[in-house]
Amino acid sequence: MQFPLSRATLGMATGLALVGGALFGSLPAAAATISAADCQAQSGTISVRAVAISQGDTITLSQSGNDGHFEGQGTAEVFCRDRSTGANLGDVPDAQVSIRITPGDPSVSASLFSISGLNGVAATSGNPALLGPFTGTAGFQITAPATLLPQGSVAADVAVDVEVVTQAWGGTLTDPGTGATLHPGTFGDILAQTPELDSLPLFAAGAMGLLGYAQLRRRARGE
């Protein structure tokens, strides 16, 4: 939710410029791609073990469209991680991530959720779905039907989003020492909300306006 700044025009422009500069200054710079060999050399560990995925964020599904279905977006980032600092040493090219949506209520079918890639990134159909291949960062969308929340509900923690890296540099992640397949992963919560959460303040403001208008009409009639 955004709140307007109540300043004079010049002061507001200056404030926005300062805020914008602070925000842009705090954004991390995009990392260049890194090869498996460079990842191994710079991370100080076996290259495949240095592959990491961005920490799972909370994804909010909001109602949309004439049918009232729910949708929300998330981002997967696969990168080479420094073993000692956790820093991003470079984006991993040709990565693939498995995304699985697991409902918190066992009675809710996982098939209610569908996953699709954004900005041209491919994704298999169904849940779970494979996202990619992509380099560095990829966005995805989660969709669910209008029946996801019971009637009268305005918000709920409905599921867990589990993301697992299945490929990096175009190949399967394996431990050269043991031959075991590696699966770096993370997870985050999925929340669903209906428009009432954002509409309540607007509705209250509208009701107060109607009340004031009615009072003016009564005064005009001498009541």
The closest alpha carbon to 157, from 101, 86, 214, belongs to 101
| Residue 126 or residue 11, greater confidence | 126
Residue 113 has pLDDT above 60, yes or no: yes
CB 91 within 8 A of CB 132: no
Q: What pLDDT does 14 receive?
A: 36
CB 144 within 8 A of CB 192: yes
CB 132 within 8 A of CB 103: no
Residue 126: partners with Cβ closer than 8 Å, 6 or more residues away = 111, 114, 115
pLDDT in tens, 55-91: 888 999 999 888 999 999 999 999 999 988 989 999 9
Sign of CA pseudo-dihedral 45, 49, 51, 53? negative
Q: What pLDDT does 114 receive?
A: 96
Residue 17 has pLDDT above 60, yes or no: no
Which of these ranges, 163-167, 173-177, 184-188, has the smallest mean pLDDT?
173-177
Residue written as token pair 């991530």: 97
Q: What pLDDT does 152 receive?
A: 83
Mean pLDDT of 175-200: 80
Superfamily of domain 28-195: Immunoglobulins (2.60.40.10)
